[in-house]
Structure 1
Amino acid sequence: MSRRVLRASTVMVVLAVAGCTTAPPRPAPPLVALEQVSAEARQDEAARRAWLQARPDWTFEGRVAIARGSDGGSGRVDWRQDGTAYEVRLSAPVTRQGWRLLGDTRGQGARLEGLGGGPREGEDAERLLREAAGWEIPVTLLADWARGIEAQGAHPEVALYAADGRLRQLRQQGWTIHYRDWSGQGADGQPPLPRRIEADNGTARVKLLVDHWEFDPP
């Protein structure tokens, strides 16, 4: 084989290998304050929030993973919200255990059922869960966070949005919440909603994956 042919073959191999090389991932667009996204994105987010505010009664079904220190667990979650009142059902398929938490997002007490020794009640739902079951779940805040809005009653320290106006990171009440995935617009007019959420307060972590949303008509 001549040197000219060998050189040409070598160049072809190098080009083929270069073509198969995986291109480095593009950096994610920076997250910004809501005021910095486009006017159209702001209008879409305002319309989304107005739609949610007009429908205070809703449910979602999904999966949840909870970790606190070396302890943790996972299972199904069914959340029913009627205005400020909530009913949260947690079930662990492996152990076949189930719990039911009833309360009010205004902090007017809570009741936890399904524990050994009978139901327990307390003025603070988060404290009741922590003391009775060892779980760290920001229940009264999750009703808003799960829908992709800041919890009422406290100004968020950080609220960062993607260019499409979807909330991506929130820091509030000692928790940092990452919105990893959102659903698209529903055929029935239901706006985009969070599908995968991760919350962390430094000692506890909650991961929520929503399979289905349903809203009562206004």
Structure 2
Amino acid sequence: MNWMSGATRRGAWALVGAGLVVLSGCAVTPRVPSTSNAATEVTAQTSRAYHGRFSVQYNDQNGQPRNAYGNFDWKETGDTVTLQLRNPLGQTLAIVTSSPSSAMLELPNRAPQTADNVSQLMQNTMGFALPVEGLRYWLQPSPAPTSRARTTMDPSSGTGRLKEIKQDGWTIDYVAYADAPATGVKRVNLTRTEPSLDIKLVLDQ
């Protein structure tokens, strides 16, 4: 991944506050039954955790291009997601907590901020929002059950793996899966055009 340095770190807290996170955009075609079943399995599972690295390219509220990168820890318990983002030195940049009824954003040396949902909180605080809610499903990988999606399978995998999801204005590209005996997504890229966002994730576990 192309990690950044210098002035880009000044925008890191803003970027990560969006929390590797949120959902608006165009619906496309309905999901096929197999992906719908996968989404049901996601909902039924009570806990999940990921550790990995992120890199984000975005435009700030003045339209200037920014970059940020670092490490993240994702903890999911029932319908609640807690996402902690840290810089490469291990310092916490932001903590996002999302549930169906509320959302909270904690930034260093600032009072916690709350809103009804993640999207509203991130948009009001940072001027943009990242797909925390969608990532709950996309990291499985599966489309979210809340809206229509278009899926593309990888014909070369021989195992019916997803290659791409288009949903809520996002394109989710599954770049690599873990090698056996490990399972699951290893690398995934998420992009959207409006507002412009390019997110690269590497899952270490």
User: TM-score, normalised to structure 1's length?
Assistant: 0.66
1:196 aligns with 2:191: no
CA contact (8 A) 1:66 1:135 kept: no
Q: Compare the two structures and name the one with the higher helix fraction.
A: 1
Q: Which residue of 1 aligns with 2:105?
A: 112
The correspondence of residues 16-27 of structure 1 with structure 2, limited to 5 A, is none
Q: Which residue of 2 aligns with 1:29?
A: none
CA contact (8 A) 1:66 1:136 kept: no
Unaligned runs of 5+ in 1: 1-33, 36-41, 213-218
Residues 95 and 52 of structure 1, relative CA distance in 2, 3 Å threshold: closer
Unaligned runs of 5+ in 2: 1-30, 60-64
* Counterpart amino acid of residue 57 in structure 1: S
**Deviation of 1:186 (Å):** 3.9
* Counterpart amino acid of residue 198 in structure 1: N
Tell me the secondary structure at the aligned position of residue 128 of structure 1.
helix
Residues 60 and 194 of structure 1, relative CA distance in 2, 3 Å threshold: same
**Counterpart pick for 1:173 among 161, 164, 168:** 168
Tell me the secondary structure at the aligned position of residue 204 of structure 2.
strand
C-alpha distance in 1, partners of 2:45/2:116? 27
Query: Percent of aligned pairs with the same residue?
Result: 21
Residues 206 and 130 of structure 1, relative CA distance in 2, 3 Å threshold: farther
1:126 aligns with 2:131: no
C-alpha distance in 2, partners of 1:48/1:95? 34
How many residue pairs end up in the alignment?
165
Q: Which residue of 2 aligns with 1:160?
A: 152
C-alpha distance in 2, partners of 1:177/1:114? 28
CA contact (8 A) 1:76 1:91 kept: yes
Rg comparison, structure with higher value: 1
C-alpha distance in 2, partners of 1:133/1:79? 20
* Counterpart amino acid of residue 208 in structure 1: L
* Counterpart amino acid of residue 98 in structure 2: G
Q: Which residue of 2 aligns with 1:77?
A: 72
Deviations 1:14-59 (A, max 9, x none): xxxxxxxxxxxxxxxxxxxx97xxxxxx7xx899778756533110
C-alpha distance in 2, partners of 1:194/1:122? 31
Q: Which residue of 1 aligns with 2:15?
A: none
**Deviation of 1:200 (Å):** 0.7
User: TM-score, normalised to structure 2's length?
Assistant: 0.70
* Counterpart amino acid of residue 91 in structure 2: R
The correspondence of residues 28-47 of structure 1 with structure 2, limited to 5 A, is none
Deviations 1:165-196 (A, max 9, x none): 10111100111110001114547xxxx31111
Residues 204 and 48 of structure 1, relative CA distance in 2, 3 Å threshold: closer
Residues 46 and 150 of structure 1, relative CA distance in 2, 3 Å threshold: closer
Comparing both chains, which one has the higher relative contact order based on Cα–Cα distances under 8 Å and sequence gaps of 6 or more? 2
Deviations 1:104-147 (A, max 9, x none): 1x3x2200112443111111212322432456311111110011
